[in-house]
Chain A
Amino acid sequence: MARCLAHEEAAWSEFVERYANLIYATILRVQLPEEDVEEAFQSSIVAIHQQLPKLREPERLVSWIVGIAHRQAINRIRVRTRDLTVPDVDLETHVADLELPDSERSRLIEIQQVREAVEHLTGRCRVLLHSLFFEDPPPDYETISRRDGIPIGSIGPTRARCLDKLRTFLEEGGWEGGE
């Protein structure tokens, strides 16, 4: 954050890469028409850039980003509905119904924690979890074994150990397991 505020372009690039999926996931919760999702995504990035210097509690950064992305998504609905002249539609009531519930906000924050924790893993665990959960289509065990140098018989037990390692790391960071 400090590097972003010091106008380091490389830091902003890292920032966007790191939080892009959080912003995207938050906007998807509002169920906008497809063409509005990108608009909301780009305007969220610009709003974050403008407002980051005013953020008073840096430890709440993730929650703050969720709030901004959600507002930008709602703004897209306002823009769309403003152009419609339907007298019986109370826009503000409709928008109020779209407020992000606390449980949803917490879930988005926890998912970001998991996202960052997976990126934090090193070595075999990072490689294996990426192969197992992030590739589409998922590679078969033979491919993983050959490519990542893990014996086929070890993939299952290694997966369990890596998940446990990830869970421990998250717990140390205050993750509550989505309860």
Chain B
Amino acid sequence: MTTNDADKIFAAALARAARTGSEQDLRDVLNSLREELADDPVALNQVRSLLAQIQDVAEVATPRPWIDAAVARIMELERGLAPAPSLLERAKDALRDAVRIIEAQLVGDTFAGAAMQGIRGSAAFQPRQLHFSSELGDVHLQIDRSERGHSVMGQFVPLHLDLLDAEIEARATTERGTTSTHLDPGAQFHFTDVEDGEIRIELDMGKDSLRLVPFRIPSHEEG
């Protein structure tokens, strides 16, 4: 921008000031600018330039509907890039619906009862029995010692008749890994050679999965 251009725009800005106020106001503007900037031609030039640029800023106003349309377009593109929250929520719901996980609570444990009464030594010769309960039915477990660890025998007693015909897979997970077996027609299952430590048992019924709360099988020395 040449000095002449700046002067013209400066004059226009002051003319605009003149339109908005009285002559006295305009003199005030000029006087204050002169007083503050007379000794500083660089600063005066900068104010001229600034006024010109403010005018440019003021004169360029994008039509509001264009801005609204642009924002709407961006939102549309954004929704294409990031999955909409509602879609995510629906996916989570679908997953939850697909497999319902039900936890069976431990309601009885002969080992715990014997330990509380201080008769663990004599109880050690008895098979340990555990009883789990859930909205789908109960699970009874009997744990015996064997030469190579423990034997875990279980029976599922369903509360709903349709589960009597269901194909159910039992899975036992210990530190060593996961083993599985299908329930026999009497809804019984059996795991052999189970090592000491924590065990997690789950009965997979397809749409539902029944998880027994994890429990611990003590070592021979502990028992």
Contact = CB atoms under 8 A, between A and B. Distances in A.
Interface stretch (A74-82, A89-97, A152-160): A152-160
B54 A114 contact: yes
A160 B66 contact: no
B60 A17 contact: no
Contacts of B21: 140-141, 152, 155-156
B77 interface: yes
Nearest to B43: A167
Most A CB within 10 A of own CB, among B19, B45, B66: B66
Contact of A111 (B32, B57, B63): B57
Most buried by B among A20, A42, A49, A171: A20
Interface residues of B, number: 49
Interface stretch (B22-30, B99-107, B160-168): B22-30
Q: Interface residues of B: mostly helix, strand, loop or mixed?
A: helix
A167 B47 CA distance: 7
B53 interface: yes
A107 interface: yes
Interface in B31-61: 31-33, 36, 42-43, 45-47, 49-58, 60-61
B81 interface: yes
Contacts of A152: 21, 25
B75 to A, nearest CB: 6
A111 B53 contact: yes
Nearest to B50: A167
Contact of A25 (B16, B56, B78): B56
Contacts of A66: none
Interface string B1-20: 10000100000010011011
B88 to A, nearest CB: 13
Contact of B77 (A49, A157, A164, A179): A49
19 contacts: A13-B75, A16-B67, A20-B70, A25-B60, A42-B73, A45-B70, A110-B53, A114-B54, A140-B20, A155-B21, A155-B25, A156-B25, A156-B29, A161-B32, A167-B43, A177-B42, A177-B50, A178-B52, A179-B45
8 shortest A-B CB distances, which residue pairs?
A: A156-B28, A160-B32, A177-B46, A178-B49, A141-B21, A24-B62, A45-B70, A7-B82
